[in-house]
Amino acid sequence: MSPTTDEIEVKDFVVNQKNGVKGLVDFLTLTTLPSPYIQPPQERFTSDKILFGSPVPVIDVSNWNDPHLAREICHAATKLGVFQIVNHGIAPAELKGVIAAARGFFELPAEERRRYWRGTSVSETAWLTTSFNPYKERVLEWRDFLKFEYLPQRHDFAATWPSVCKEQVIDHFKKIKPITEKILNILINNLNSVVDESNKETLMGTMRMNFNYYPKCPEPSLAIGTGRHSDINTITLLLQEHGVLSSLYARATEDGDKWINVPPIAGAIAVNIGDVLQILSNDRYRSVEHCVVVNKCCSRVSIPVFCGPVHDSVIEPLPGVLENNEMARYRKTVYSDYLKGFFGRPHDGKKTIESIKFP
């Protein structure tokens, strides 16, 4: 089916003219959802899909040396692939500060935001875009996001980041990194292995952060904020905005269509297991498929930090999980090739990891 004139005009304004969906809702008073955002029925998130009574684990990490803590983290990574941590050492005021910084960026004038649009950004390590892959998608997601790449080995990596949020972003990266290292140590030790110089680049050689912005949506039941997907990196630490409607849902089981809400909790950080950990663990850990819905009442921001391999890393099950003649379930894969597969198409569940699984 060919796109209509209205679809072409909306997409041109949002994507080619670099306004994003934030620019669209600021420019127009929308009472109905523009057609490029109307999801097909099978991709819409309906209330009958929500599984109640199975809360996402909330884990107190105030004592990282507690063996019970390690067991809780490994159990959550195995069963669901997502959990929340509290008492992690980042002050509530600092978390509120980075949320405010994200909102500050999206409240900038449109011409200032456009300076960071992907492909023409004034920064090599920060860029703005909309949806997920707007040039490949027939239907757009109701989201803009600003992405930052953390390269502390380069003294000028953040020189041209937006002044409204630069300090908060750098500080959040610095605070998240040691927490990530502690979680990965626990998870990798449980796989009869250790985190050391031989695998650190594969586990967390890159760190990136998103400022996700989800505007108010006139018809949220027809739209999606972020489509069904699993994170392709090793592990993601997500800060949700507290005090707004809950919007994040995780698939409860691999083979069903029931979803569990991951609610925003004051001071908490949600932890998602990514595809790389599922591959390294030979399916002992589960990369969680998740999605984000939108609402009519308010906008929302979220801030994930993605920790993953350097691009030339080779991803395959760890020797420690194959010690008892267990067969590898995944083909050896160069991470850069894995990235191309994921970013070369719209969000589509877990098809990227399925593509490298042995029959």
Q: What are the pLDDT digits (tens) for 126-156?
A: 999 999 999 889 999 999 999 999 999 999 9
Say whether 114 sits in a helix, a strand or coil.
Answer: helix
Q: What is the CATH number of the domain that holds 215?
A: 2.60.120.330
Q: How far apart are CA 26 and CA 295, in angstroms?
A: 16
With 70 as the cut, is the pLDDT of residue 5 above it?
A: no
What single letter denotes the amino acid at residue 316? E
With 80 as the cut, is the pLDDT of residue 8 above it?
A: no
Is residue 333 included in any domain, yes or no? Answer: yes
pLDDT tens string 45-76:
999 999 998 899 999 999 999 999 999 999 99
Is residue 126 included in any domain, yes or no? Answer: yes
Confidence at 224, pLDDT banded by 50, 70, 90:
very high
Is residue 18 included in any domain, yes or no? Answer: no
What single letter denotes the amino acid at residue 321? V
Q: How far is CA 296 from CA 13, 113, 144, 264, 358, in A?
A: 22, 24, 17, 18, 43
Is residue 331 included in any domain, yes or no? Answer: yes
With 60 as the cut, is the pLDDT of residue 2 above it?
A: no
Helix (H), strand (E) at residue 260: strand 259-261
pTM given for the model: 0.96
Q: What pLDDT score was predicted for residue 242? A: 87
Q: What pLDDT score was predicted for residue 245? A: 80
Q: Which residues contact 186 (CB under 8 A, 6 or more apart)?
A: 69, 70, 73, 74
Q: What pLDDT score was predicted for residue 255? A: 85
Q: Determine the structural domain holding residue 291 and report its residue range.
A: 49-355
Answer yes or no: are the C-beta atoms of 226 and 132 closer than 8 Å: yes
Is residue 11 included in any domain, yes or no? Answer: no
Angle at 177 between CA 176 and CA 182, to 5 degrees: 100
Query: b/e string for 67-80 if b means 16 or more Cβ within 10 A?
Result: eebbebbbebbbeb
| Residue 29 exposure: Cα atoms within 13 Å on the Cβ side | 0
Is residue 210 included in any domain, yes or no? Answer: yes
Is residue 150 included in any domain, yes or no? Answer: yes
Lowest mean pLDDT among 68-77, 196-205, 237-246, 270-279: 237-246
Is residue 32 included in any domain, yes or no? Answer: no
Count of domains observed in the chain: 1
Q: What pLDDT score was predicted for residue 6? A: 73
With 60 as the cut, is the pLDDT of residue 3 above it?
A: no
User: Of the candidates 175, 185, 174, 290, which has an alpha carbon nearest to the alpha carbon of residue 231?
Assistant: 290
Tokens of 177: 């990194």
